[in-house]
Structure 1
Amino acid sequence: MKEQPRLWTKDFISISLSNFFLFMTFYFLLVSLPVMVIQQYESTKTEAGLITTVFLISAILIRPIAGYGIEKIGMRKILLTSLIIFFIASILYFFATSIMALFLVRFLHGIGFGMATTAAGGLVANIIPDSRRGEGMGYFIMSSNLAMVMGPFIGLTAIQMWDASVLFAISVICALFSLIAGWIIRIPIKENKKKIHISFQFQNFFEASAVPISVVGAFFAIVYSSVLSFVSVYAKEIGLIEVSSLFFVVYAAILLASRPFTGKWFDQFGPNVIIFPSIVLFAIGLFILGSSHTALGFLLSAAFIGIGWGTIFPSLQTIAIQKAAPNKRATATATFLSIFDTGIGFGSFIVGMVVAEVGFRSFYINGSIYVLVGILVYYLLHTRKEPLKEKLVERHVR
C-alpha cells in the first residue's frame, strides 16, 4: 500500500495556529465590542451593530484585491503584511476614544482580517498534499471553528469581569500569536517575478470557476447566520439561557469527532457523498432547534448542526479551490469568502426582519425546509455541471 504524503507538517501546523488566533480575535471582539460600545460610549444598538458591519464590509472589499495581489507579490508576503496590519489595528483600540475613531479602527482591522484569511486559504491549499486536500482543508477550517467556540466564551466572560483595557490586551495577544505563527512558515512558494501591472478586469479580482460553488455557500450562509448571531437570544427567549454557552461547545465536540472521517471520505469518494447527507443533517438540526423545549433538544440540535454545517462549509471551500488553477487558488479563496460573507451579512439583516414577524421557532423550523432546497441549488450549480469525464479523471488521480 502506497504511503500517504504527510499532512501535519510544521508549515501546516503553523498556518492552522495562525488562523486559529486570527479568528479568536475576530470572535472575541464580535461578542464583546458591541456590549462595550453601549456601556462605555453610551451608543445606540444600531451603532453597536455597525461595529461588526464596518469590519465585514472592509474585509469583503479587500479580499478580491488581496487575491490579485497574492498572484503578483506572493502569498507569504501578503500574509505577513496582513497580520502586521491586523496586529497594529489591535493596538489602536487602546487609542479609540470616540465611536467614530472606533469605526476607523474596525475598518482597518477588517482590512487586515480580509487579507489574512485570503492569503491563509491560498497558502494552506499549497501546503496540503493534493491527495489529502479534503482532509487537510477540513482540519484547517476546524481551527476557525474552535475559535468560534472559545472566542465568544472568553469574550462574554471578559466583559463581565474586566474593563475595556483588558479586552483590548487579550485581542493584542491573540493577534501577536497569529503573527508569530505566520512568520514561522517557510514553505517555498513560487513568486511571480513579473513586473506588477494592475489591470482592473473582473478576472483579475474574481475567479470565475469559484463563483457557482460560492453562491451555494452564500445560500446556506443566509440561514446559518441565524445560528451564529441569534442562537443565544433564542435560548434566552425559550428559557434555556443557562445552557446557551454549551451550544457551540457541543457543536465543536461533534465537529472534532467527525472531522477525521469526513475529510478522508471527501478525498476517497468525492464531495457529493459528503455534502448531500450533510445538508440533510443540517436541516434536521435546524428543525430540532426550532422544536426544542428542553436543554437536551437544544444541545442535540447543536450536534446535528455541527456535523452538518461543519462538514458543508469546508467541503464547499475545497471545491472552490480544486476547480481553480494552482496560480488562482488565492483568488478562488478570496472569491469564495467574499461571496460567503456577503451571504452572512445579508442573512443577518434578513433574519432580524423575518424573526420580528414570525418568531424564532417558526423561522428555524421553516429554515430547515430552506436548507433542504439547498440540495437542488447545489445540484444545479455544481453536480449537474460537473462532467462525467472530469469525475472519472479525479477518481483515477486519487
Structure 2
Amino acid sequence: MGKGKLWTKEFIVVSLINTLIIMVYFLLMVTIAPYAVEEFNAPASVAGLVSGIFIIGCLIGRLMAGRIIQDNGSKKTLRFGLAFFMITTALYYAAINVPLLLINRLLHGISVGIVSTAAGTIVAQTIPENRRGEGIGYFSMSAIVASAIGPYIGILLTRNSNFSMIFLFNFILAMICLVLSFSMNIPGQQLSNKNQDKGEKGIKLSYFIEPKAVPISFVALVIGFAYSGIMSFLSIYAEEIQLEEAGGFFFLVYATFVLLSRPFTGKWMDQKGPNIVVYPCLIIFALGMLLFSQAHQGWTLLIAAALIGLGYGNFISIVQAIAIKVTPRSRVGLATSTYYILYELGLGVGPFLLGFLVPITGYRGLFFAMVFVILVSIILYYILHGKKERVPNQRREKEATL
C-alpha cells in the first residue's frame, strides 16, 4: 500500500486557516481583559468573565458543529463558521458597553468552535488513512504555533497601537481566512442519513456526540485537567518559587519540543500503533510534572517544560487521531467535536476546581498531586482503549485470515 499524499492544497490551506483562527483566539485572550478595564472601567472579576466567556462559546460551537457537519458537510460548515467569525470580529466595534461585549465574546467563541471543528474534520477527510497519526500531528502543530505567536502579537500591538487597530488586524485575518476557504476542493455532501434521522423519535445524545469517541476522549479530559493547572497558575507559581525569568521561557521551550517531536510520534503511531507512543508520553508527562512540582532552579523548570512538551504535547494529538480512527468515516465530524468538547472541558473546569486545593496544598503540593492523576490515567487508557489496540501489521494479518 502506498503512503498516500499528505501535503495536498486542501491540507495546507485548512492548516493555515486554523493557524490564523487560533492566533486571533490567543491574541484576544491577552488583550480583551485590559480592554474591558480601560474602555469600560470594568472590575477585575468582570474583565475575567469577558475573557473566559469566550471558552464557553467555543464549547457551545463545538457541540453545534458536529451535527451541522453531519447534515451539511464540512465545506459548508467551515464557510458558514468563517463568515460568522468575520461578522463577530467586526462587531467588537459595536460593543459599546460590557453587556454587548459579553454577548459578542460568547458569539465569537461559538464561531471559533464551529470553524476549528470543521477544520479538524476536513483534515480527517483529506489525509490518507495510513498516515492519519502523522497528518493530525502536523495539523495540530498549527495550533501550537498560533498559541505562541498570538499572545506575542497581542502584547506587541497593545504597546505600540490602540485597541481599534487590534480589532482591525483581527478583521483582516478573518477576511483572509474566508477567502482562503474558497480555494479548497472538499466534498460538500452531508455525512449523515437524514431519512434515518427523521425516523428517530426525539433527540438522542448520539445526535450530537459520537459514543465510540467518548472513552478515549475521556482520557483526554483527565489529562487536560492535570495540565490545566500549569496553564493557569504558571506565572503565580514561578513568582512564588522566585523563578520568574525561567517561567517566561516555559511555553517557548514547551512549544519547541512539541514541534521537534510531533512529526516522529505521528509516524510511529501509523507504523506501530498508538500504544507505543501513548504509554511513553504519559510516563514522560508524569516525570515532567514531578520535576515541575519540585523545581528550585531555572534549568529544572525548563527541563520540566521540555518533558511536558514531549509527553503531554504529543499525547493530545495522538488521542485525537485515535478518536477519529475508532469512529465510522461518516461520523468523523461528531468524533472531532466529541474529542474537543471533553478535552476542553478538562482544561476549562480544571483551574476552577484546582483553585480550591491551592490553599490546602500550596502550588507545589497541587502539581505533585497531578503526578498521581497522570499515573491513574495510564491505567484508564489501558482499560478504555489500550488493551484492545493492535499494531497495524497485526491488524492486517488478522483481516487477511477472515
Q: Which TM-score band applies after superposition, normalised by the shorter structure?
A: over 0.9
2:34 paired residue number: 35
2:287 paired residue number: 284
Cα distance per residue 1:321-375 (max 9 Å; x no partner):
0111111000011111111111111102112222233222221222122211110
Cα distance per residue 1:5-34 (max 9 Å; x no partner):
111111110011111111101111112212
Return the offset for 1:36. 2.4
* Residue identity matched to 2:157: A
Distance, in Å, in 1 between the alignment partners of 2:124 and 2:142 is: 15
Return the offset for 1:192. 5.3
CA spacing shift, 1:153–1:355, aligned 2, 3 Å? farther
Q: In the alignment, is residue 25 of structure 1 matched against residue 24 of structure 2?
A: yes
* Residue identity matched to 1:127: T
Return the offset for 1:394. 5.5
2:219 paired residue number: 216
1:246 paired residue number: 249
Return the offset for 1:42. 2.0
Q: In the alignment, is residue 168 of structure 1 matched against residue 167 of structure 2?
A: yes
1:68 paired residue number: 67
2:270 paired residue number: 267
Return the offset for 1:232. 2.4
Q: In the alignment, is residue 368 of structure 1 matched against residue 371 of structure 2?
A: yes
CA spacing shift, 1:194–1:369, aligned 2, 3 Å? closer
* Residue identity matched to 2:247: S
CA spacing shift, 1:293–1:161, aligned 2, 3 Å? farther
Structure 1, unaligned runs of 5 or more: none
CA spacing shift, 1:193–1:202, aligned 2, 3 Å? closer
Distance, in Å, in 2 between the alignment partners of 1:79 and 1:61 is: 16
Return the offset for 1:194. 6.8
* Residue identity matched to 1:393: R
SS at match of 2:142: helix
Cα distance per residue 1:103-122 (max 9 Å; x no partner):
01111101111111111111
Tell me whether 362-371 or 307-316 shows the greater mean CA deviation. 362-371
Matches within 5 A, 1:151-166: 151-166=150-165
* Residue identity matched to 1:338: I
1:353 paired residue number: 356
Distance, in Å, in 2 between the alignment partners of 1:211 and 1:167 is: 38
1:311 paired residue number: 314
Aligned residues: 396
1:132 paired residue number: 131
- Whether contact under 8 Å (2:72, 2:188) holds in the other structure is no
Return the offset for 1:270. 0.6
Identity %: 35
Tell me whether 63-72 or 18-27 shows the greater mean CA deviation. 63-72
Distance, in Å, in 1 between the alignment partners of 2:163 and 2:398 is: 56
Return the offset for 1:200. 2.0
2:144 paired residue number: 145
Q: In the alignment, is residue 343 of structure 1 matched against residue 346 of structure 2?
A: yes
Distance, in Å, in 1 between the alignment partners of 2:181 and 2:391 is: 39
Cα distance per residue 1:40-75 (max 9 Å; x no partner):
322222212222332222221232322112111111
- Whether contact under 8 Å (1:122, 1:329) holds in the other structure is yes
* Residue identity matched to 1:307: L
Distance, in Å, in 1 between the alignment partners of 2:397 and 2:238 is: 44
Tell me whether 47-56 or 105-114 shows the greater mean CA deviation. 47-56
SS at match of 2:159: helix
Distance, in Å, in 2 between the alignment partners of 1:276 and 1:392 is: 19
Cα distance per residue 1:91-147 (max 9 Å; x no partner):
111221211111011111011111111111111101110010000000101100111
* Residue identity matched to 1:204: Y
Distance, in Å, in 1 between the alignment partners of 2:224 and 2:118 is: 22
Distance, in Å, in 2 between the alignment partners of 1:59 and 1:395 is: 42
SS at match of 2:242: coil
